[in-house]
Amino acid sequence: MSREGKILELINEYLTYSKVDSGYNSFHSSLSSNLYNMVDFQTIFWDMREKGNRDYESSSAFLVTVGITLGKVFNKYNPEVTPEMALEKEIEVNGVNKRGIKTGKRTVMKFGRWLNQAFPFLTDIEKEKLGDWYSDNYGPLNATFHRATTGFENIVTKRMGKRAGFSTTSWRKSLADSCMRYEASVLNLTGHPYSAYESGDWELCYLLDQNGYLLGRCLVNLPTGTHSAIYGVSSPSIQMLKEEMRKLGYTQVSEDAEEWDGSRLKYIEDVWYDTDSDNEDDVMVFLVPYIDLFNGYAYHDRKYIYLSVSSDRPKGTYYVDPFESNGFNEL
């Protein structure tokens, strides 16, 4: 059967299939997006037209139908993967009998075998690419885990390792999107804001690949044993750091990071170079990075900057006000 025929057969098979209650998780979303963008359904539609097929009035109507069908396939099988399955390049799906009816049981099979079963129109090259995507995003990570309480600037500005797209949240973030990965000169500063965390109250946990490239990092507040959002280059790097946090007994900080009340940052004065201004009006700032999650106040005593959930300034300290993402201004 031709490729076009296999696609039409799949569409017809799912015409009467009603979506049920399985969730559309990040694995579904990422795999579906990769599959949809990999296969040139637009060209397939015009190839069908040239061969006389007039089942669809336009390419947009065909693409919508394809998208709905793919969603039904994912809903039917509800594929999931765990770190243990990823080691064997396996996937867990709803069991389906020879007539295509769900058996009510979950079954584990090789990822490639499931692709053949669920998407018979895929070419060998496309299946190979999806296999590579699976390995990059869910396969075992060749990395070493490290911890540090000093030298943060050299760590966060390291060259990043191989990246693979993954679903991000406020707790799972892309290392490539972090402004702190840039060197101080790029931020128009003489020192790096991340150095402020070297007060003794913070630990930086991170992953390096075999070349010494950065694969992920996570900031830990030592007095409370809580960690902030995890930054990574892929889903496996996020997962590995999350597991290392668990082993060390560190827990995820609350959504407003109230636990960090009273934590210290180093008091470091610096000059922010106003490169966008004609009058070269440089500004004195305190070197402090954007602090994920914390939504409170800050004070300093010219030795440390203190995070606080209270707006009442302690005696002998000065208010600190956020100054964009570069640091703080004294009020």
Based on the domain organization, do 183 and 116 belong to the same domain?
A: no
**6 burial class (0-12, 13-18, 19+ CB within 10 angstroms)?**
middle
Q: What pLDDT does residue 327 have?
A: 42
Domain boundary (119, 138, 157) is at 138
Segment-wise mean pLDDT, segments of 10 residues, the chain, 331 residues: 87 75 64 87 91 88 90 87 80 77 82 92 92 80 93 96 80 91 86 93 96 96 96 89 95 93 90 56 69 84 90 81 42 32
Return the amino acid letter for 68.
I
Domain that holds residue 221: 144-256
pLDDT given at position 282: 55
Same domain, 100 and 203: no
Residues 283 and 219 in one domain: no
Same domain (yes/no): 282, 179:
no
Quote the number of domains for the chain. 3
Please tell me the distance from the alpha carbon of residue 221 to that of residue 85, in angstroms, as a whole number.
Answer: 32
CB contact at 8 A, 201 and 185: no
Torsion of CA 310, 315, 319, 320, to 10 degrees: -80
Does one domain contain both 228 and 174?
A: yes
pTM, rounded to two decimals: 0.67
| Number of other CB atoms surrounding residue 301 within 10 Å | 14
Give the model's pLDDT for residue 122: 93
How far, in Å, are 103, 115, 329 from residue 76 at the CA level? 11, 14, 55
Query: What is the pLDDT at residue 99?
Result: 64
Q: Which of 173, 287, 319, 188 is nearest to 235 (CA)?
A: 173
Q: Kindly give, in sequence order, each residue whose CB lies less than 8 Å from that of residue 73, ignoring residues fewer than 6 positions away.
A: 10, 14, 118, 119
Domain edge (last residue) among 138, 162, 180: 138
Q: What does the alpha-carbon distance between residue 107 and residue 79 come to, in Å, rounded to a whole number? A: 10
Which residues partner with 107 through β-bridges? 93
Query: What percent of the chain is helix, strand and coil (3-state, nearest 5)?
Result: 35, 25, 40
Q: What is the rounded (10 degree) CA torsion for 36, 38, 43, 47?
A: -90
Looking at the structure, tell me whether residues 89 and 107 fall in a common domain. yes
- HSE at residue 74, side-chain half, CA atoms within 13 A, is 20
Listed residue (175, 165, 173) closest to 136, CA to CA: 165
Question: Tell me, what's the pLDDT at 27?
Answer: 78
Of 256, 289, 313, which closes a domain? Answer: 256
Q: 250 and 129, same structural domain? A: no
pLDDT at 232: 94
